């Protein structure tokens, strides 16, 4: 969850926000350290002591996690308390001064400035300085001692450096990842929200190492890393809270590694090994139920070298049979892969034959229509679009709109005015998939000026009938495109609201400023009858300023005086009115 620190209060649950503020004001945030540029670690006290880790860049919090067990949302009260700590100067809030702060205050009152020599270094700077000073033997002894005392440290250390003493293999990297997961998992082997983030950060280091290996041309080792990540992170995601998508990102990274090996590696032995892995994993259904189960066959298609390879893949694709259900994802996915297999290994005739035999898949129909239009075989393209409309009109209205859009495109190329008007009008009135102004412009271009006025008036009437409730914006747009300002003002008077006013004000301000001021007056009154809170008051005052800008200073003053009489108990409103 990315949050701008300047406005973090607007993005966090109000209850969590209040509790975080209380923790900050009570001085519970202690030991705030900058580990490196923009990376902070803080201790937050309470019923227990928790550690908060936060990454900030250019005023935006890109990541944060806390060691507390809270998992009801993306941000806990301890993290919020740290945000208040980091933003206390900007927010004008403070906590009880610590001893050092009191000492600095006394020194300042005596005219003595605190020494800059003791300016605190970041944790990373301190670590680097100590590591530079430590003799290698002492550092080695300390690491051995930590490994003896702390299992999680030992597991993470082995996970990072096991490759130095063992032969490179997929299993070796799988052991590393299992050690990472084991260290982070709770007592019952479950990865909570913060543990999932910890695992993902560690596994991302393996992903980055794989990237470096591929850059160096070591595709085999990168392949082992990708396979291990894919298998072990699939297990991890099944035993953890991945509400933030951290573990899923590791799986995506693993797939990217494997596909990059398939695309870039020319070593036939490595390509064969990856091909065999992909088919074996698919056969064993290692990832059944996940999207990447079928991605394995996509990977295998990328690695095809022989006719035998092609037959193996085709056999597995053909083993996926239709279920007869309305939405048969697996079968449709298999047919899409079969298409890519044919595209890669066979000719144009076989490709078109397969597309036509499986025309119920909308992607196939779309490809055939576009190819027919490209070849100017308009009769075939029209037939495909019209049969698509018939096939999809009951269950897939969005696709019906697309097939009609293709028909519009065909008739534009043929110059058939009657059909162009028919389909552009339908899409303008009934479809949200295509830009209304584009359809409107097509219609206007087809009609003579003598025809257009009556056609436009009827189009407005039809637009109102085609909607369950009249959309102010959609009708207003039509008047704006035609520069019918009186009709636009009449529409606004019939649909008074601050939102509608702000939508059309710039078009009417030069001609109808006085009327707009009056509409604003009434709309603001109605708005404040229904809404109570400072944010609503700020909005109302923003529109009072619009009244003034339109030349309605007297009306604005009168409205402000009226609001003061009506709502004297709304202190926040009085404060906002003071600033108008």
Q: What is the pLDDT of residues 478-513, one digit of tens each?
A: 999 999 999 999 999 999 899 999 999 999 999 999
Phi, psi of 60 (to 5 degrees): -115, 130
- According to the model, what pLDDT value does residue 523 have? 94
Residue 103's pLDDT band, with cuts at 50, 70 and 90, is very low
The answer, yes or no, to whether residue 470 has pLDDT greater than 80, is: no
Residue 424's pLDDT band, with cuts at 50, 70 and 90, is very high
Asked whether 234 and 251 are in contact (CB, 8 A), the reply is: yes
Q: Which residues pair with 42 in a beta bridge?
A: 52
Asked whether 501 and 492 are in contact (CB, 8 A), the reply is: yes
- According to the model, what pLDDT value does residue 485 have? 96
Residue given tokens 């009449």 in the structure block: 490
- According to the model, what pLDDT value does residue 123 have? 67
3-state secondary structure of 32: strand
Determine the Cα–Cα distance for residues 213 and 223; give it in Å rounded to an integer: 10
**Spatial CB neighbours of 532, under 8 Å, sequence gap ≥ 6:** 570
Closest CA to 254 of 234, 271, 235: 234
Please indicate whether residue 45 or residue 259 has the higher confidence score (pLDDT): 259
Structure tokens at 417: 């005015």
- DSSP H or E stretch at residue 34: strand 29-36
Residue given tokens 């990447």 in the structure block: 292
Q: Compute, in degrees rounded to 10, the torsion defined by CA atoms 271, 274, 276, 280.
A: -170
DSSP 240: B
DSSP 6: G
- Helices 417-430 and 436-446, interaxial angle, to 10°? 150
Determine the Cα–Cα distance for residues 355 and 368; give it in Å rounded to an integer: 7
Domain ranges for the chain, please list them.
Answer: 3-110, 492-578
Q: What is the mean pLDDT of residues 7-17?
A: 84
Structure tokens at 6: 């300047």
Determine the Cα–Cα distance for residues 374 and 413; give it in Å rounded to an integer: 11
Q: What is the pLDDT of residues 391-409, one digit of tens each?
A: 999 888 889 999 999 999 9
Phi, psi of 63 (to 5 degrees): -160, 150
Q: Compute, in degrees rounded to 10, the torsion defined by CA atoms 75, 77, 83, 86.
A: -150
Asked whether 16 and 76 are in contact (CB, 8 A), the reply is: yes
Please indicate whether residue 101 or residue 577 has the higher confidence score (pLDDT): 577
């Amino acid at each position: 969850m990315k949050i701008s620190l300047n406005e973090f209060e607007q993005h966090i649950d109000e209850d969590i926000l209040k509790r975080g503020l209380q923790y900050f004001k009570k001085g519970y945030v202690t030991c705030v350290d900058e580990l490196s540029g923009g990376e902070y670690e803080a201790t937050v006290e309470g019923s227990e002591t928790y550690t908060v880790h936060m990454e900030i860049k250019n005023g935006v919090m890109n990541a944060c996690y806390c060691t507390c067990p809270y998992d009801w949302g993306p941000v806990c009260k301890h993290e919020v308390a740290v945000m208040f700590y980091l933003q206390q100067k900007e927010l004008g809030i403070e906590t009880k001064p610590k001893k050092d702060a009191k000492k600095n205050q006394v020194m300042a009152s005596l005219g003595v400035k605190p020494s800059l020599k003791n300016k605190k270094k970041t944790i990373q700077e301190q670590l680097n300085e100590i590591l530079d000073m430590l003799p290698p033997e002492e550092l080695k002894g300390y690491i051995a001692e930590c490994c003896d005392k702390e299992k999680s440290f030992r597991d993470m250390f082995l996970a990072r450096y096991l490759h130095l003493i063992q032969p490179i293999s997929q299993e070796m990297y799988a052991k590393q990842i299992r050690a990472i997961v084991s260290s982070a998992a709770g007592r019952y082997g479950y990865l909570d929200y913060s543990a999932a983030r910890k695992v993902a950060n560690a596994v991302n280091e393996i992903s980055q190492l794989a990237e470096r290996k591929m850059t160096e041309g070591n595709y085999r080792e990168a392949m082992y890393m990708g396979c291990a990540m894919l298998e072990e992170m699939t297990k991890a995601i099944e035993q953890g809270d991945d509400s933030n998508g951290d573990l899923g990102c590791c799986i995506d990274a693993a797939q990217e590694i494997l596909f990059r090996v398939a695309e870039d590696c020319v070593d036939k032995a490595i390509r064969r090994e990856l091909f065999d892995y992909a088919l074996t994993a698919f056969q064993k259904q290692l990832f059944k139920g996940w999207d990447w189960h079928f991605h394995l066959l996509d990977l295998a298609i990328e690695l095809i070298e022989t006719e035998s390879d092609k037959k193996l893949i085709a056999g597995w694709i053909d083993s996926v049979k239709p279920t007869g259900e309305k939405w048969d994802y697996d079968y449709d996915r298999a047919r899409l892969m079969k298409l890519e297999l044919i595209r890669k290994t066979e000719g144009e005739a076989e490709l078109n034959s397969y597309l036509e035999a499986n025309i119920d898949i909308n992607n196939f129909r779309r490809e055939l229509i576009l190819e027919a239009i490209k070849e100017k075989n308009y009769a075939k393209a029209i037939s495909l679009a019209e049969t698509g409309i018939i096939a999809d009109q009951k269950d897939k209205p969005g696709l019906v709109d697309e097939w009609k859009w293709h028909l519009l495109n065909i008739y534009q190329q043929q110059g058939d005015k009657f059909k162009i008007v028919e389909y552009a009008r339908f899409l303008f009135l009934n479809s949200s998939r295509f830009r209304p102004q584009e359809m409107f412009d097509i219609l206007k271009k087809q009609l003579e000026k003598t025809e257009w006025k009556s056609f436009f008036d009827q189009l407005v009437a039809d637009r109102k009938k085609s909607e369950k409730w009249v959309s102010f914006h959609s009708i207003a747009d039509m008047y704006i495109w035609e520069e019918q300002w009186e009709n636009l003002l009449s529409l606004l008077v019939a649909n008074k609201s601050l939102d509608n006013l702000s939508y059309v004000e710039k078009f009417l301000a030069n001609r109808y400023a006085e009327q707009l001021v009056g509409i604003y007056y009434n709309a603001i009154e109605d708005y404040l009858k229904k809404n109570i809170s400072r944010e609503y008051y700020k909005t109302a005052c923003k529109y009072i300023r619009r009244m003034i800008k339109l030349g309605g200073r007297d009306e604005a003053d009168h409205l402000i005086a009226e609001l003061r009489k009506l709502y004297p108990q709304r202190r926040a409103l009085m404060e906002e009115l003071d600033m108008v």
